[in-house]
Amino acid sequence: MDPDPAMNGARGPPSLRRLQCSALSGNAFQSANPGRDVQLVGTARFLGEDVAKIHDPVWGVTGSLGDSQCYLGVQEKVAAIQAALSERVRSDELAVRLIAPAYTIGVSDGQLNGTPGMRFSLIGRELVNESIDLHLNANTIAGLIAVVACDKPPVGTLAAILEHNAPAVLLSDGSIRPGSDPQTGERIDIVTGFQFAGDPDPATRTRIALHACPGQGSCGGMFTYNTMQTFIAVLGMEPLQMVAPASDDPRRLQEFPDQLIDCLVAMTDAGITPRDIVTPESLRNALTVTIAMGGSTNVVLHSVEIARAAGFDLWDDVLSQSEFNALSRRLPVLVNMRPFGFYSMVDIDAKGGLQVIVKELLQAGLLDGDALTCTGETLAEQVRRLDPPAPVGEVIHPVAKPYKDTGGLRLLHGNLAPDGGAVLKIAGVEGGLQDGVFRGRARVFNSERQLIEALEQDPDSFADHDMVVIRYEGPRGAPGMPELLDPTSRITALCRQRNITIALMTDARFSGGSVGLVIGHVAPEAFLGGPIALIEDGDTITIDINADRMDCLELDAADESARRAQAWRAATEANGGIHPDVTPVSSRVLTRMRTSSRPALSGAGMTTG
């Protein structure tokens, strides 16, 4: 029998062999405290589990639920995994108490974009973390399989798993399949819907709304959902082959449940914990693959949060901002995917899955193949076992002939971002840069709503080389740092119609579906009096991706910068300590976010201390 870590003070999960040896027969059950045991007995009987195991280590299944197509397939997958786990516990005589599934609450980014409700999206990541933390610790869970959907619940779930640090594995619910415009036959999706929001024809808008998102599943392009599922799988916390299949793919119900249980068994038997898997090396791997796939700017927020939960500072322990930019410059983009390309994640699956891209990057020497994964194998061993085909172009491209020559993301610094961290998605830029430089005129809006109203009521007022500035929408300002998919999509459509470039910068963030010359996470945010709060209409804004800089010409003048800062402080003091352009809040969680949020560069989550 393996030694019991609890007997010598060591932390870690019990081995599966010890679990098997400790199994009790139903006749051997004795209660030391009927008051505590009576509900354990009742629950076990209701679930059809062995009453004799009510004091054995607890395993469970969790899922994400919310008002969106993203979550429609979750309960079915949770039920399939629960049934497979129950059968495995019986057939292998595991000394495991299997408890009922539990669910967290998520919101729909797609349905809420452009509305006040979008402020709750990033907050949802924090509340999922807390609810999973409650579940794991109150129920002393020793093994978990988590089914996750949309893009904030997976990150919150993984953060809680890392903090708890008992064996666990994640399953992404899967992507939605693309829609089809019945009039043109063209593929359409949720981003198409936002890009048609400004179309003057009600019939066209309605046709797109009725056909863009058929079925179930999370957004199908290389938006934030697939960015983070790619990140989590390459990180080692989800098997690689489980990312690309659609939400309604039969493998998710027929094959993946047993494979996930194999992972949980392997981790438990080998004493592997999530923090053994999530290391600086695996975090670099995950960032490398997401950049090489043109992933969402949100990975800059979420990778910081995941690293924090694993005990690391991303920028100190994993890679610096300059190293991040060097990596992005060095990496090509290997996939032709929405929003900057044509295809969706289901097409990646048809060409062999995420493992094709990982293998290509491994062979190019761009990944650390020795990183441990939830299968019990290293990343290289997992890819070798899966044996994916080589990329042939069109959907997945080889490193030697990439879809785009340089990586997807860039972190900017300058007098508008003195600490850096402002993020630009290079893969999504459609024009406006001359020799890597954009110069524009500032047009300032003190909320997302102000910009949407201007785009709806007077779109012709926007001109070539405008630099739209949206502020007071940061982690504390909004609060909640909403995504700005609605206005960026309208601006994209306007630019394409008129063949112009309108850039945008903000202390908020962007959906993975946003394209164009858009810069988010500008900090310090306007709510805190950062430089973005001092920009005035007509100021000259320069973006230089050669030097990774963003600057306001007028703020280079010390006297002018000081005058504007003093005026901002005076207005704030006269308004009771909050600038009058900041939107008041009364919601409990919004108030909490406003008073406790960390900066974007630190993940924009709520402080825990």
User: What's the pLDDT tens digit per position in 314-360?
Assistant: 999 999 999 999 999 999 999 999 999 999 999 999 999 999 999 99
Averaged pLDDT score across all residues of the chain: 93
468 within 8 A of 543, measured Cβ to Cβ:
no
Looking at residue 237, the DSSP 8-state letter turns out to be: S
Q: What is the pLDDT of residues 225-236, one digit of tens each?
A: 999 999 999 999
* 409-602 carries CATH number 3.40.190.170: no
Q: Which of 512, 496, 514, 513 lies closest to 504 in space, CA to CA?
A: 514
Bigger pLDDT: 152 or 198?
Answer: 152
Q: Would you call 511 a catalytic residue per the annotation?
A: yes
Catalytic residue among 296, 328, 511, 514: 511
Mean pLDDT value of segment 376-386: 98
At 417-429, the pLDDT tens digits run 999 999 998 877 8
* Digit-coded pLDDT (tens) for 257-303: 999 999 999 999 999 999 999 999 999 999 999 999 999 999 999 99
Write out the two tokens for 311: 């005990």
- How far apart are alpha carbons 309 and 302 in whole angstroms? 11
Give the pLDDT confidence of 564-609 residue by residue, as tens digits.
Answer: 999 999 999 999 999 999 999 999 999 999 999 999 999 999 987 6
pLDDT at 501: 92
Q: What is the pLDDT of residue 509?
A: 95
Q: What percentage of the chain has pLDDT greater than the value 90?
A: 87
Spans of all domains in the chain = 5-177+215-386, 178-214, 409-602
Q: How far apart are CA 260 and CA 243, in angstroms?
A: 13
End-to-end CA distance of the chain: 41
Q: pTM for the full model? A: 0.93
Buried b (16+ CB within 10 A) or exposed e, 333-370: bbbbbbbbbebbbbbbbebbbbbbbbbbbbeeebbbbe
The DSSP line for 58-105 is EEEEEEEE-SSGGGTTHHHHHHHHHHHHHHHHHHTT---EEPPPEEEE
How many Cβ atoms sit within 10 Å of the Cβ of residue 11?
A: 9
**Looking at the DSSP assignment, which residues form a beta bridge with residue 468?**
443, 504
